[in-house]
Chains A and B, each alone.
Chain A
Amino acid sequence: MASAAVPAESTVRPVSLWRRVWKGDSIAHLVTFLFAASILLITLLLIYQLFTHATLARQKFGWGFFTSQAWDHGNDVYGALPFIYGTCLTSLIALIIAVPIGVGSAIFLSELAPSKLAGPLTFMIELLAAVPSVIYGLLAIFTLVPLMRTVVEPALKSVLGFTPLFSGPIYGVGYLSAAMILAIMTFPFIISVSREALLDVPREQREAALALGATRWEATWDAVVPFAKLGIFGSIFLGLARALGETMAVTMVIGNDPAVHASLFASGYTIASVIANEFAEAGSDIFLHSLVMLGLVLFLLTIIINAAARLLILLTTRRGTAR
């Protein structure tokens, strides 16, 4: 109301600072810009700090850090191989379990289930993603590990015991248990992102296949899934990035043994769990720098995979038309 009377006066009176601020889009722009820029700054600072706090390890061990199996606090000699091996192995097995089941569920939820059923089911599966990882770890210690020790691993051993993968003593904790809990934790990501990708496939794609006489499954598998392929791969990469960086649940069931073992029943270690267990007790500088170096490796690994996942998801959602 007041502004209606203002223009006549404001031509004679110099514009007050308050009025300039009140009208000042440039100030609002600047303030919000600063907050946005702070995100960029803090991320750059994160990368810089990780890099500088790993210098001692880089200087002392060089590239040998990645191939060495040493983890000796007494002599301050450290190598990353057991951890990189454990991280990659557990994530890989987790994907082998989670991908078929996850994509299968996504197909069911997007293509077959009536929407009255699919909505609540999807919501429940998304709730799985909200459960804190320490709770998965708690459940894994008291349910999964005994189950693996008494039922699953003896059964695998009796059938596939001739291969080095499934031989050796059974403890319950170890690579396979860690991979199982990782698989359970990556389900929700694979399912919800794959489902989105499948829902983005144009309706005509299904109708054309069905009209040509394809069965429901053939229409889904040969016409719909190829269309959503990139998005499904994106969901798998997203699940992989999550599995690689997962800390608590894995730390609680992997057995914490810094060595490389061929047997999936054996105890191992991952990058994230060795940091979780030993960082607070890092006595010497070189030990601290070695752990930060491991953190840097994990950081680079996950951002590369995340970037790939986002690119793939972007490519499919841009192409899809119907919802």
Chain B
Amino acid sequence: MSMHLRWRKTVNLVMLSLTGLCTVLTVSILLLILGYLVWNGGRSLTWAFFTQLPKSPGEAGGGMAHAILGTAQLIGIAAAIGLPVGFIAGVYLAEFGGTTFPFVIRYTADLLNGVPSIVIGIFAYIVIVLPVKHFSAWAGGFALSLMLIPIVVRATEQFLRSVPLSLREGSLALGASQWRTVLSVVIPASIRGIATGMILGVARIAGETAPLLFTSFGNNFWSSSLNQPTASLPVMIFNYAISPYDDWHRQAWAAGLVLLGLVLTANIATRLILLRGSSTQRG
């Protein structure tokens, strides 16, 4: 019996430490990724990176100023389409919907969220690039907006639903119409959460590469209009990382650091906003 007990205790100890080990492993991967990227990227990051255009292949120096602007343009287009559509559709799901149709929309949004980004790229290529026969920022931004919409829909619906029913009833009892209640009471009460959902959504699409490969494509110069092929940081990282030039690898690291900095800042900032919000509401 005591042999058996000792065995059970040993199994207990071994398995519990194994689960701890798993956690250490996964967390250390994150730290390694961050550390390696910061070290390599920090070494490579220069002022020229932010201000200059790329040099010709193999030539040292140059930067990715055009890709930084391009990424901003693409995000701008995606946000201009994706945020309003996602937000208003989310309002419908939370406030105006019945039972059947919202279920269908919710399911569709989930489905769209699960579509591989490369397939979204194919779709944007078919509906925008094929008819006009050239790559453009519009096509890339459209592809990104399709990835943004389902994220914003779900965030909006979730945070609107978390507003207490009594707030709505109070407003309706005062004689306000339903849409007036939604606009002046429900949305302001949940705007902080919705905004963080939107920021996270934008941060997520900022790093997307696959849908841009054959929609906004790439460009080594300033693009003069949104109707032209447009460079973006993620696509530049991809092209530079698989190139044979050391200097391009160096720049890929720098771009990776900038991109990761952007994404992680957004994630950590929204987390802090949400934490502070919940504690002030409780207090």
Contacts and interface: CB of A to CB of B under 8 A. Distances in A.
A156 interface: no
Contact of A50 (B122, B234, B241): B122
B209 A133 contact: yes
Interface string B1-40: 0000000110110011011111101110110010011001
A307 to B, nearest CB: 8
Contact of B249 (A3, A105, A142, A292): A142
B1 to A, nearest CB: 12
Contact of A32 (B88, B110, B210): B88
Grouping DSSP codes into helix (H, G, I), strand (E, B) and loop, the A interface class, with mixed when no group exceeds half, is helix
A221 B179 CA distance: 50
A218 B108 CA distance: 41
B125 A279 contact: yes
Interface string A35-60: 11111101101100110010000000
B104 interface: yes
B151 interface: no
A49 B126 contact: yes
Contacts of A123: 271
A42 B148 CA distance: 13
A293 to B, nearest CB: 10
B92 A36 contact: yes
Contacts of B33: 128, 131, 135-136, 139
Interface residues on A, range: 35 or more
Interface string B241-273: 110000001001100100110011001100100
A32 B96 CA distance: 8
Contacts of B149: 39
A113 B267 contact: no
Interface string A107-131: 1110111000000010111011011
B114 interface: yes
A34 to B, nearest CB: 8
B15 A275 contact: no
A141 B110 CA distance: 32
A132 B16 contact: no
Nearest to B213: A276
Nearest to B240: A138
Nearest to A38: B85
Nearest to B238: A134
A168 interface: no
A226 interface: no
B168 interface: no
Given A215-B8, A252-B238, A252-B241, A245 B119 contact: yes
A20 B234 CA distance: 49
B116 A244 contact: yes
B259 A50 contact: no
A121 B22 CA distance: 12
Interface stretch (A9-17, A22-30, A61-69, A71-79): A22-30
Contact of B119 (A132, A295, A306): A295
Nearest to A37: B105
A241 B200 CA distance: 21
B93 interface: yes
B115 A46 contact: yes
A38 B241 contact: no
Nearest to A241: B114
Interface of B: 8-9, 11-12, 15-16, 18-23, 25-27, 29-30, 33, 36-37, 40, 84-85, 88-89, 91-93, 95-97, 101-102, 104-105, 108-112, 114-123, 125-127, 146, 149-150, 153, 175, 177-179, 182, 200, 203-204, 206-210, 213-214, 217, 234, 237-238, 241-242, 249, 252-253, 256, 259-260, 263-264, 267-268, 271
19 contacts: A32-B96, A35-B89, A39-B112, A46-B146, A50-B119, A108-B19, A111-B19, A112-B16, A123-B271, A128-B26, A128-B30, A132-B260, A215-B9, A216-B16, A247-B116, A248-B234, A272-B210, A302-B115, A307-B111
